[in-house]
Structure 1
């Protein structure tokens, strides 16, 4: 054996990945889009209302500039205070430090300009403002969903993700969706091998996807072998969860039809919680 061979470090088959605004440019761009669409149209509405008041002689220019400065300062200051008092986790501070102040300001100014143009020169200005805020929230949710980190260790045959350690031989099937550098995996497990809270959707890198696929093929029991080393939740428990979940999903639309128009606001508010709890109970009934 040559000296170079003897001194070479052992190779590891572990694949790690981390997607966050601090490490991934597309996620930072999504944050800028979310800020511009979510905050910009609201600022545009404030600017337009103030300009209208100044043009009509209701307030002076100096007073409007002073109120606008207070509005901006209150927004920035309240955000910093919430981070400080709320003891935000380290990843939040990393995200804030990774964002460019110029990029944030530019995105807000672009959103503000779009809001002013939509309100001033179109007949659907209010709809544009509401749509911009909704689109900004959607961009924020998508960015949060794509943030992930984990490790696939081929030596131990385990996937560590979202606080869970999953044996690769518990995975029955993997379906893949490519989104640029992101790979979204929809994972099916062998019955009884994992808990109900184990993630069924994994966002990872292409290298991690290849490692998971290779480990799954290597670790999956042969055809005809006993694939269930664990037990599912009792059938009665799953039946109760499914019944309760379906009832939560149905009760909102039914009440929306039966309740008079003046009471639909409360029904809609409660219906959101019904959809949430219904989805959780149905999911438990399916995967437990």
Structure 2
């Protein structure tokens, strides 16, 4: 028997915004509309890149992977959040919580690694243009994308296994057994993810150094404009993540922490399709071309057919 553990935990109760029942309807409506825009934006980006042959390049293939990762990431969290906003009690089973944590951590880590990979791609395109097609071959891009998701899933599997390997109990500490080895493993995994993510800074250091060697301002503007959308997403993503995970805990106002967490979960994924569709000229042109082509096909299919 476990000491001081007379009741084993079988489910978790999600508190959420139960202390503010008047905000539930408003939060549900805003979150649902934002989620629809996010989902439709990412699906549109994936469809356009797949349909338009001019976008079958490594940069846009990575962008399609990023949109796919963002779509799956929101599917893990937002539908459950919307359901719990409508229900009086938000209970989640241990297996359900395990699955949600695994996909949440795995897709979150994969998203960070994918942003790092996109930074490496831009570094190769700007700093090594003559070797670009040798380094970034289609098969290499495919393997790198698969490696990113495998690496993220491996980190998530290790962390969730460590969390749920100890029995959970109703006490001041959720885990009935503490382990310094597990804490050390979490520390090294976190350091590994942070170090891999900070390779973006190294990539952009080489990019800035290469751009400064270009004598004309017009020559510097074009390659920098290709990095602007990715750099905007990187700053927003890691900036919001730093606010969530690195700021001191708000002990006096936990409701403020919940509001910030909702903003990070719901609003931040919306910025990826917005930035890449509004700032990227190629995506805008390809979307118009795809829309015109689909209208042409629709006109042909609806044209009456006469038989002799």
Pick the TM interval, shorter chain.
Answer: under 0.3
Higher helix share: 2
Higher relative strand content: 1
- Scaled by the length of structure 2, the TM-score of the pair is 0.23
